[in-house]
Chains A and B, each alone.
Chain A
């Protein structure tokens, strides 16, 4: 009786067992095992133009040993050249014996010279690879990407970690940085507008500090010389590179970058400085709304609207206690702030127009509303459209 009962339950047990085998096989992910002695875990990639075609600088995470006192992250930078980016990636294996792994690559930086060409040629490899994380941040830098990746950050062990801090959500909410992912840049490039933007990274030497390159924690250059002095640097991405047809066409200064963030309605905790008469007053943005509307009735008109609710954050002069305890923004400062934002937005419009970058996605808006009008206007829309800028800065009560 018991044997018969057991036999009856065997199919169900076998069924469950087979299902477990299948799930185990599918989802084991090779048990997540990565032999770090044989694998180059690439944290960031810098791409430059070279005589051969492409130059790739990969920042590779390396095991740091067991000394707990050191802590942090360690990396080594490997630079390879090739006729394609894929060629450069495979050269990493040829030169180091490490198999390159791009799954953890969170940052791609393009050198300035590379950005002057159609950059999608530099990004082709990353867009094709199923094993690449296309939500990684993309940026362009002043000078060579190799120098940026190999630089010694004053703030973090590894330069890419310090740079990625610039693109955090908090940085985006400040309105000072316009971050972009590889996927979003590709969507813009292959879209109707064929225009996009990327943060433009500059590095500045940290005053009064310098350190030898290959000592202790932090990154080291595989080809660098022992004892070479590398200054510690900090990074800034408050400027923004505009792209038209994949080529870098202009660089927005910080004021215009901030104005664009306000237009997109992205700012929640940013600050900007207006004038109270001759004296500077810093306002803190509590909430922000922005809109871009294209009106094709008659001649094309673009309404750029920025709404800000702000509080007084700081005066550049001495003030009585009654003033310190009051967050309300005086009427004169509000008017000045509105003028300031209007002026910055006007300059932003002009920069975008002169560079041929459809930063305000006017072509996209027109294509979606009327493909017929889009065909009619696509060549002239940016030149002919007239901006109407409306700024509304209010004080928090």
Chain B
């Protein structure tokens, strides 16, 4: 139950991780980089793919993250790093949670629903997080085809309305716009850290690391194609289109006759997103368990505790999503510290241990 196969991780990297980047990130990118929104995304994906490569390469040693850290810095420091990772994962979870809540409220309801409408998510998340992290593997197997159907469906209905020339001229936003967008979008790129918690749970095979990076880039290509389509449809008004993936397909000519059939694909992506949103919390629980041992009721206590905290945040931050984005945006540098710096730092192995 606590093992995942490499295939399941590939599914996560190619099909599930991209879904979290289709809600508010396109609007943030277009606000900073305008028609160049795909360039910062490409830069971020290339960097993150390198980090994914490093993480999967660590899988060769068949050790958990905690064991790897103990090997390098001792158990006390390893525990501290794990606690920092927990804090980071909880920080990461904030934006996906709030954006999904706002998305559900705005898109699936014709008028503003009660705050309780999103509360069952925490019930589901608390249960999911109390299970071993390996159980996500089965979910990845089931969610990958749903994600592909959802994304392909949305894109197919969107392409005919896009003016792809809108991405011209290239580099119109300049270096400031592009790097500003890179900083602004950092908060949606934390997948290598999620992957770190899967270390020791999969069997490294030949070429797993580079294949994983390629699968991640394939997911990135889908995101970039979506972003270009999104900008091609909305151009200068793109910055007003929150919940991007629910907006692009509604202009398809048949929809005026058939109604919002595109909601089938949007529902599919929303289902995948529900799992992706809970994943940082699940990884935070796993991180605690690796550092402090798998005591009988600890997973349940941690899971309920984390989800309770977020349920409270969810209520308190109901009308403060802009403020949250602002704060997270200012602290953008935290994301590369954990996603880009931590995996390569773990790579060099100690000869004495290798010899042993």
Contact = CB atoms under 8 A, between A and B. Distances in A.
Contacts of A27: 108, 267, 270
B237 A183 contact: yes
B110 A29 contact: yes
Interface stretch (A332-340, A366-374, A377-385): A366-374
Interface in B81-138: 104, 106, 108-111, 113, 117-121, 123-124, 127-128, 131
A156 B8 CA distance: 57
B234 A187 contact: yes
Nearest to B171: A371
Interface in A20-36: 21-30, 34
A236 B127 CA distance: 61
Contacts of B110: 29-30, 34, 101, 103, 131
Interface residues of B, number: 37
Interface stretch (A10-18, A61-69, A214-222, A299-307): A10-18
A25, A34, A127, A186: most-surrounded residue (chain B CB, <10 A) = A25
A187 B108 contact: no
A330 interface: no
B121 A22 contact: yes
A316 interface: no
A183 B251 contact: yes
B290 interface: no
Given A23-B271, A190-B235, A371-B169, A130 B106 contact: yes
A228 interface: no
A322 interface: no
Contacts of A30: 109-111, 113
Interface in B334-350: none
Contacts of B255: 135
Contacts of B237: 127, 183, 186-187, 190
Interface string A121-150: 000000110110001000000000000000
Given A14-B127, A18-B127, A127 B240 contact: yes
A29 B108 CA distance: 5
A19 interface: yes
Contacts of B236: 187, 190-191
Interface residues of A, number: 36
Contact of A131 (B111, B253, B256): B111
A169 interface: yes
Contacts of B172: 371
Nearest to A164: B256
Nearest to A19: B124
Interface string B252-265: 01011000000000
B75 interface: no
Contacts of B124: 18-19, 21-22
Nearest to A364: B165
Interface string B267-305: 100110010000000000000000000000000000000
B242 A18 contact: no
B250 interface: yes
Contacts of A22: 120-121, 123-124, 274
B104 A370 contact: no
Contacts of A190: 235-237
A104 to B, nearest CB: 9
A15 B127 contact: yes
Contacts of A15: 127-128, 131
A29 B237 CA distance: 27
B235 A191 contact: yes
B175 interface: no
B15 to A, nearest CB: 18
A18 B128 CA distance: 9
A187 B233 CA distance: 9
Nearest to B243: A130
Contacts of B356: none
B312 interface: no
A26 B104 contact: yes
Contacts of B104: 26
- Top 3 A-B residue pairs of the complex, sorted by shortest distance between their CB atoms: A190-B236, A368-B168, A25-B120
17 contacts: A14-B127, A15-B128, A18-B123, A21-B120, A22-B120, A22-B123, A25-B119, A26-B108, A29-B109, A30-B110, A99-B111, A128-B240, A131-B106, A187-B234, A187-B235, A367-B169, A370-B169
Interface of B: 104, 106, 108-111, 113, 117-121, 123-124, 127-128, 131, 165-166, 168-169, 172, 234-237, 240, 242, 250-251, 253, 255-256, 267, 270-271, 274
Given A26-B104, A131-B106, A135-B251, 15 more contacts: A14-B127, A21-B124, A22-B121, A22-B124, A23-B271, A25-B117, A26-B108, A26-B121, A27-B108, A30-B109, A30-B111, A103-B110, A127-B240, A169-B253, A191-B235
